[in-house]
Structure 1
Amino acid sequence: MRGLALLIELALVAGTLGKVTTVRKTGTKPTGYEVDFVFTPNSTTHASSVLLGGFPFFSESLHASLSKTDGYSPYEWGSNMFSMRMTPDYGNEAGTLSGLEMKRNEKTGDWEVTVPLPSGTWLYAYYPNCTTGNWRNCDVAIVDPSNLPIEAFPGDQSLSAIQLPFDPTFQVNDYSWQLPLQDASKEGMSASIDTHHQGQPIHIQVNIHDVGIYLPNEYGKIRNKKYPVLYLSNGGQGSDSDWFQQAQIHNIVDRLINTGELEPTILVTLNWYDLGFTLEEYQTNATLQAEYLDVVGYARFFNRVRENLFSYLMPWVDENYEVSNSSSHRAFGGLALGGTLTYAMLFNATDYFSSYCVMSPTPAPDGGDGQYNASFNPDLRNVGILTGAGFYDTTFDAARNWETTLAEQNVTYLSHYAMNGAHQWSTWQEIAYIYLREALWKPVPYGRKTSLKQFNSLPLIDF
């Protein structure tokens, strides 16, 4: 079960299981919808207070920058606002990472709070006995027992996810493209042969690799059909579950396939931790970017990851799934440090994939790096590249600087910058959505002749 569908079904049996977190349509301000968050502590949880946290508070463009934001609570939400996460490195994170105090129901023992939220995906957890007011500084985070996350193993994900529909009466920005299809029979499926629910990704261990797999709904129903495959990388400290739990990427792909905007595609999500070597082994004092990012060390580490993936994971995918063996049907993308892994693929396995999506690269290669030189690697001019970050993203400069270098090498690319995005999952959801809908499996290289018309015809949606 996933998202809203899970909560609706759980609500139907609430009489026997007790109250659970639910979404309600109110038809009233501020958003037209509310979420009744309910935390039922177990026998070992003894809380004198519980904080609801995990999602950033809101800002609006007049009061938002890398260094500050006012941090409006959901109760103050207005249609011109967006959820924006500050980070410890830039500005005062307390403005956006505050939590909401829950109230104990003396009759049931549950902790409850009702919160208005606009459409989209919201990540949250419960923080018992947290008195800081900032959920990042709490000692314990508990996922919602009534809305467990999609995860590779128990404890892999620290936040539950809830998704809300769009109400045009009160809202301007429609994020329904993140929500599950209403007809569950059209959802993509797991490759699992056990009791995983349809639509849930499978977690598999291949040699030393953890991997998530998504298969389109029609997979296995059309004889001898081969499918394109998109590899997606996690970011720093992430896992193969991240794209499914935090971005709900399976919902996005389901919807685009269902509308015919995306060719049925297999997704493979990566986890490049625990491969037998670590980033620390490759650290240097050579090229530092943004005062703390070791560009040379990261490049060496991710090239080692690339070699490992080609030795173990990718041959396993080719052997076990009906994937195309043509580079025109292979693509790679990643966010943050996963964007750096995407660079390693782009520069060192250029002709193996036809398409690359680099999101919030952390870090970008140094501007003088010879890997950029299209004279030595002319295939750079023959692949599709889409790059981007959030407008308030800490990696904004890195993303733009590497675009400048690509342009100097006459390497064409597309870019998408989330105008209301910071270094957070909502930014990468949006970039991935644009990439899947407007670029993936389109003629390459991406440039004026192949893609400008498509982007000019996008609906005027203020993301």
Structure 2
Amino acid sequence: MPIAIPRPLTPAPRRRLMLSLLAAITVAAATVAAPAASAAPPAPLGPTVTRTDEPPTGYAVTFRYRAPEDVQQVHIYGDWFYSRPENIPCQDCGDARPPAEWQPGDVAATPWHIQPMQKGSDGVWTFTTPLPAGTFRYAFTHDCTNELATGCALHDDPANPWQIQPQYPGAPGAVRSTIYVPTSKKFPTYDTGYQAPVTKIGRLESRRYTSPLSTNPPGVHDIVVYLPHGYDPNRVKPYPTLYLSHGGGDHSTAWTMQGVAHLILENAIKDRAVEPMVIVSTDFNGLPGGNEGYVNELRNNIFPFVEQNYHVSNRPQDRAFAGFSAGGSRAYTLMYNHTDLFGYHAAWSAGGPTATQAQIDRMKAVAGGIMIGTGLQDRLGNIAENSQRNAAALRAAGVDLDEYNVPGVHTWHVWRPLLNHYLRALTFRATTTGLDVTTAPAGASHNTKVTATATVGAVSTSTSAPSGRVDFYAGDTHLGSAPVHNGVARLKKTVHADLDAPVVAYYQGDKLFNGSQSAPVDAR
């Protein structure tokens, strides 16, 4: 069958066909919805810190939280209520002013109160409040009617969770999230830059070790270890170790997730105020035997595990301890009865029992140093009064200690600055100064040529050596000063008289090391 071949279109029909096709395309295009103008992306969930440069604090935080659909009302529950210090006659007393009413000189006080959030058309609950500088904890409640959140379940912020979570079912401790607010230059509130997040951060590790003493979890126990930025398991000198204890109702995550101890350390390292150290946050829950049981856990289980798994020193003078509240009670037990386990001791927000003479003698021999501190408005069991009383009694008995107290009650707003002070003023900063003095006649009658050589050394293992200067005295007479080079400061001087008083060398300290003095040396 022959195939019919279509005849080519003439120019006129071809033009008509093209116009028909264009018209069809135009109609079809008109039926397609034009793309909508790009809408702004929804605000992220979680907290947003905004610089406002407005009173009272210069900063505000907006919290955005999505609750289950059946929740009728969401409240935020945060540790940001304030009082005048003089208006706190008892624990959980005070003005209870929200941060919108913050005033210079206020202290963060308890109790916390719930504050209502507003539900938006997008189903997200929001709350905006000014906040002063510092680290704050917060949580959310669902359909809670108690102003203090008593009996209400607390929910953390899923958009801002803690990095380390409770390590075993039933672990005590509050459900919280944490936010940091910087200091406003225009409306300064608190000097809390030492708590700020840092760009160079180390590694947090949740570790479980064998513990025959532990009843919860049975046979094992938990610690949180922080390895500082740049931690080198192969460096020549091992790291010193700071051991921390939480208080009642918390566990081993408390010091980092709430106390931001690792950030406080890294800020101190950044300021060249301390050298890198390893932090071990312990858990005293589930350990029978009270304070002594905790000491046994440290000695028999925690020390061996840490020293076998991390490049840390096993010398007592390279260990420091600090605890607050119930952990401060354990700190006193270590300080009084097991002084030789640590070179540095700190007890915070704990009254402390009266020390016996034997305990006082042990404390006088501490290799590094002792710190006692509290919140000045801490009325929980008269802690503030008892802590200061005990510190005064120990000083009167001849114990060399650093007492450092700050405005505040029984909260993290007190324990964070106490840790900061401990790191920058005491831990692993101790030195010893030895002195050798020789004399010889110097020509003219009664002239004496004196050569005084001071040897300055660090008590704890350090990658740095003490620097600075040493002052030499004979009684009240200043013989002169000399710089420290490679641990030695040497003074040569001609004295126009006989030396009739012992010579003492006073090392002045530097940014990393505290001062010390030699024993008197009779040069006559």
Task: Give TM class, smaller chain.
Answer: 0.7 to 0.9
Q: For the structure 1 residues 354 and 131, does the alpha-carbon distance in structure 2 shift closer, same or farther, using more than 3 Å as the test?
A: same
Q: For the structure 1 residues 138 and 103, does the alpha-carbon distance in structure 2 shift closer, same or farther, using more than 3 Å as the test?
A: farther
Partner of residue 34, structure 1: 60
Matched, 1:51 2:82: no
1:207-246 alignment, distance < 5 Å: 207=210, 208-220=220-232, 223-246=235-258
Question: Equivalent residue of 2:61, what SS?
Answer: strand
Partner of residue 190, structure 2: 173
Q: For the structure 1 residues 202 and 133, does the alpha-carbon distance in structure 2 shift closer, same or farther, using more than 3 Å as the test?
A: same
Cα distance per residue 1:66-119 (max 9 Å; x no partner): 36421211111223323212xxxxxxx4xxx222111111x2112111011011
User: Quick one: which amino acid aligns to residue 80 of structure 1?
Assistant: G
Q: For the structure 1 residues 83 and 246, does the alpha-carbon distance in structure 2 shift closer, same or farther, using more than 3 Å as the test?
A: same
Greater relative contact order structure (CA < 8 Å, 6+ sep): 1
Structure 1: gaps spanning 5 or more residues: 1-13, 86-92, 191-200, 278-299, 458-463
C-alpha separation in 2, matches of 1:450 and 1:273? 43
Contact 1:372 / 1:405 at 8 angstroms: preserved in 2? no
Mean Cα displacement is larger for which, 225-234 or 437-446? 437-446
Contact 2:337 / 2:359 at 8 angstroms: preserved in 1? no
Q: Return the match for 1:71 from 52, 76, 96.
A: 96
1:32 deviation in Å?
Answer: 1.5
Q: Which has a greater percent of strand?
A: 2
C-alpha separation in 2, matches of 1:49 and 1:369? 56
Query: What is the TM-score when the length of structure 2 is the normalising length?
Result: 0.68
1:61 deviation in Å?
Answer: 3.4
1:368 deviation in Å?
Answer: 6.0
Mean Cα displacement is larger for which, 402-411 or 430-439? 402-411
C-alpha separation in 1, matches of 2:325 and 2:509? 26
Question: Equivalent residue of 1:21, what SS?
Answer: strand
C-alpha separation in 2, matches of 1:430 and 1:372? 28
C-alpha separation in 1, matches of 2:308 and 2:233? 19
C-alpha separation in 2, matches of 1:146 and 1:338? 31
C-alpha separation in 2, matches of 1:133 and 1:48? 16
1:331 deviation in Å?
Answer: 0.7
Partner of residue 118, structure 2: 103
1:138-177 alignment, distance < 5 Å: 138-153=151-166, 157-177=174-194
Question: Equivalent residue of 1:174, what SS?
Answer: coil
Higher alpha-carbon Rg: 2
Q: Which has a greater percent of helix?
A: 1
Q: For the structure 1 residues 270 and 15, does the alpha-carbon distance in structure 2 shift closer, same or farther, using more than 3 Å as the test?
A: farther
Partner of residue 378, structure 2: 393
Cα distance per residue 1:128-158 (max 9 Å; x no partner): 11112223x1421000111112333378541
Partner of residue 318, structure 2: 329
Query: What is the TM-score when the length of structure 1 is the normalising length?
Result: 0.77
Structure 2: gaps spanning 5 or more residues: 1-39, 211-219, 433-458, 460-505, 515-524
Contact 1:152 / 1:240 at 8 angstroms: preserved in 2? no
Report the aligned-residue RMSD: 2.6
Cα distance per residue 1:337-375 (max 9 Å; x no partner): 1011112222232122110111111x522x26566342x
1:399-418 alignment, distance < 5 Å: 399-418=387-406
C-alpha separation in 2, matches of 1:436 and 1:166? 22
User: Quick one: which amino acid aligns to residue 290 of structure 2?
Assistant: F
C-alpha separation in 2, matches of 1:54 and 1:370? 45
Partner of residue 248, structure 1: 260
Q: For the structure 1 residues 221 and 205, does the alpha-carbon distance in structure 2 shift closer, same or farther, using more than 3 Å as the test?
A: closer
Contact 2:85 / 2:377 at 8 angstroms: preserved in 1? no
Contact 2:244 / 2:321 at 8 angstroms: preserved in 1? yes
Q: For the structure 1 residues 335 and 444, does the alpha-carbon distance in structure 2 shift closer, same or farther, using more than 3 Å as the test?
A: farther
Question: Equivalent residue of 1:131, what SS?
Answer: coil
Contact 1:102 / 1:113 at 8 angstroms: preserved in 2? yes
Q: Return the match for 1:81 from 106, 119, 124.
A: 106
C-alpha separation in 2, matches of 1:405 and 1:343? 14
Partner of residue 134, structure 2: 120
Partner of residue 290, structure 2: 301
1:122-137 alignment, distance < 5 Å: 122-135=136-149, 137=150
Contact 2:241 / 2:319 at 8 angstroms: preserved in 1? yes
1:380 deviation in Å?
Answer: 4.2
Partner of residue 284, structure 1: none
Identity within the alignment, % = 27
Q: For the structure 1 residues 451 and 247, does the alpha-carbon distance in structure 2 shift closer, same or farther, using more than 3 Å as the test?
A: farther
Q: Return the match for 1:438 from 425, 439, 448.
A: 425
Contact 1:149 / 1:157 at 8 angstroms: preserved in 2? no
Cα distance per residue 1:193-214 (max 9 Å; x no partner): xxxxxxxx21111112210001
Contact 2:364 / 2:399 at 8 angstroms: preserved in 1? no
Question: Equivalent residue of 1:339, what SS?
Answer: helix
Q: Return the match for 1:269 from 277, 281, 284.
A: 281
Q: Return the match for 1:359 from 337, 348, 351.
A: 348
C-alpha separation in 2, matches of 1:416 and 1:379? 19
Matched, 1:347 2:336: yes
Matched, 1:205 2:208: yes
